Amino acid sequence: MVKPLISSWLRTIKDYLKGIFLYGILSGVYEEKRCLDNLFMLGVFGSTIGFPYLFNYYYLRLMPYYVRRFDGWKKQILKDKDFFDQVGD
């Protein structure tokens, strides 16, 4: 009874501390990763959002592995960017 309660409290404190100290910098790491992913996706699958594609061979070979990402990627890259979205760029 006491042990699960203590572990739940410890988990909550750990999450609070993660939010206060780490969350901002982790978001930065994810943002950096997304920029690289965007470059890759644009280079290989750019045709799906209107860019001319350059490498037929890689496009077809990689398509099955990346097809699940297309929906989210298109939403993110084609979304209108408001003033507030541009501050972090």
Could you list the residues that contact other proteins (CB under 8 A)?
Answer: 12, 15-25, 27-32, 34, 72-73, 75-76, 80, 82-88
How many Å apart are CA 40 and CA 23, to the nearest integer?
26
- CB distance 45 to 59 below 8 Å: yes
> What contacts 74, CB < 8 A, 6 or more positions away?
48, 49
Smaller CB separation from other proteins, 39 or 54: 39
Min CB(7)–other proteins separation in Å: 14
Smaller CB separation from other proteins, 24 or 52: 24
Min CB(87)–other proteins separation in Å: 6
How many Å apart are CA 38 and CA 15, to the nearest integer?
30
In the chain, the N- to C-terminal Cα span, in Å, equals: 49
Min CB(40)–other proteins separation in Å: 14
Smaller CB separation from other proteins, 3 or 81: 81
